[in-house]
Structure 1
Amino acid sequence: MIVAIHQPNLFPWLGFFDKMASADAFILLDNVQFTRRGYQNRVQIKGPQGMQWLTVPVKSKGQYQQLTCQIEINGEHEWKEKHLKTIERLYRNTPAFEELFPAVQELYRPAHQKLIELTIPGIEWIKTKLEIRTPIYLASDFQAEGASSELLSELVRAVGGTCYLSGPSGKEYLEGEVFAQRGIAVRYQYFQEEPYPQRFGPFVGGASALDYLFNDPLLFHWKNGRANLQNLTLEKRMCKP
């Protein structure tokens, strides 16, 4: 059983969902320290001048030790209106705008107090649009303890996993022996983003999955570009401790 784990980011890029689709269970790491200037409260979308940020303002002054699940949104800013106006302006003429923009508006409609009240529903919505059936769990729902490899391996074990699917950067910090002690294999994701139709010039990778959804309503590249996942299908056979 393959398990992938990631922090709950704001409207993540396709690589995030590729990892989710390649796993049997996906855990949102909501009980670790919030990463300032990371992707938990911001993401890039493509505009006429290139990539630009959508950022949710958060109350972080003097609270850098807070966990992601505790981070509150700074409601003093008119950020929701700004986000929606930006999304509408950049994607108004895309193939899927009429279908998707009302749903995006609904994601912003509730009176969000905490950051995860926007990011997690956003992840669930994109997951549905990409037809991914992998179940999602919250790390905070388990009694896993420790840090880094210890915490990750305990979470994998908590959902009955036998293999941890890490992003490529995990090669720099994961301790394989910690997983091995728990009978868990470690494998690494390989994802190469396939170009899809975009506005404003040549394709630029790394944008929010929103960019993909608006530009490719038939999901042609996602469904038919699954050559990216062939190696991971093979990894599934290899993911044995």
Structure 2
Amino acid sequence: MAKLFAADSWIVLDDVQFTRRDYQHRARLADLHDPARQQWLTIPTHLPNGRPTLIRDARIDDPALACRRTAGMLRQHYGFSPHWPALAKALGPVLDAFTTGRTATVAEISTRVLLDLLGWKGQILTSSQLPSRPGRSVRLADLSAATGARAYLCGTGGMTYLDPAPFAARNVAVTPFRPPLISICSSGRQLSALWALLALGPAALADRLQALAADHTVLQPAA
């Protein structure tokens, strides 16, 4: 969430292969007072085309049940937070998204809701509607260039495999995004952003993310 908040554009990658047991259909919810206590929130997902199924084509198993379970787990973990009313008021579109039967729709709308609560002003695009070539790094470079971006924010994991050459060819800098090791929560990279939102409140969390985005010691061009 911190990396996304620091970006001007978010491209929803909907036309690549769905990956099971990844964050595409699940997230770790942390106890509000003890974030070391965690529980997976998973949207059971069916792949109609088997392993090659694209993210946009993945289907929710029993959407009504998944919706009720999601709403119940969120209230169980965070209903007693003083900031719960703000989230509860915004949850309507997320819960309504389950009726589409599409895992990707729930994932995208839930992220949009978080960004709206934090006051993010960037643009949201979809990869399937932008021109790009196959190949992991080539695709990302093409998508970045299609937005007119001058830099691609890359997480520490992505830096281990990313090929900078396609980006250089498109005049797009690769910028490593490295949040401070001691930040909102030491295990924050593993948790849903809901923990920080409900622990700090939307305004306080937005202030911290804004400070992080503006910290030029965090965003440095790759060598």
Aligned equivalents of 1:169, 1:108: Cα separation in 2? 31
**What is the aligned counterpart of 2:183 among 191, 194, 204?**
194
Matched, 1:216 2:220: no
- Following superposition, the deviation at residue 221 of structure 1 comes to 4.2
Matched, 1:79 2:66: yes
Aligned to 2:158: 170
The secondary structure found in structure 1 opposite 2:174 is strand
Matched, 1:139 2:127: yes
Most deviating of 176-185 and 100-109: 100-109
**What is the aligned counterpart of 1:122 among 103, 110, 114?**
110
Q: Normalising by structure 2, report the TM-score.
A: 0.85
The secondary structure found in structure 1 opposite 2:91 is helix
Aligned equivalents of 2:138, 2:202: Cα separation in 1? 41
Aligned equivalents of 1:140, 1:64: Cα separation in 2? 19
Aligned to 2:79: 92
- Following superposition, the deviation at residue 168 of structure 1 comes to 1.0
Percent identity over paired residues: 24
- Following superposition, the deviation at residue 76 of structure 1 comes to 6.7
2:137 and 2:163 in contact (8 A); partners too:
yes
Report the aligned-residue RMSD: 2.5
The secondary structure found in structure 1 opposite 2:184 is coil
Per-residue deviation, residues 117-159 of structure 1 (Å, max 9, x unmatched): 2111111111111111111111011121211111111111111
Structure 1: any 5+ residue segments left out of the alignment? 1-16, 197-202
The secondary structure found in structure 2 opposite 1:137 is strand
2:178 and 2:218 in contact (8 A); partners too:
no
Code of the aligned partner of 2:57: Q
Per-residue deviation, residues 88-116 of structure 1 (Å, max 9, x unmatched): 12212101112322422442134121112
Of Structure 1 and Structure 2, the greater helix share is in 2
1:190 and 1:228 in contact (8 A); partners too:
no
Aligned to 2:42: 55
Q: Against the structure 1 CA distance between its residues 175 and 117, is the aligned structure 2 distance closer, same or farther, given a 3 Å change threshold?
A: same
Structure 2: any 5+ residue segments left out of the alignment? none
Aligned equivalents of 1:235, 1:211: Cα separation in 2? 25
Code of the aligned partner of 1:168: T
Aligned to 1:5: none
Matched, 1:34 2:35: no
- Following superposition, the deviation at residue 222 of structure 1 comes to 3.6
Aligned to 2:171: 183
2:29 and 2:195 in contact (8 A); partners too:
yes
Aligned to 2:57: 70
**What is the aligned counterpart of 1:43 among 27, 31, 47?**
27
1:57 and 1:77 in contact (8 A); partners too:
no
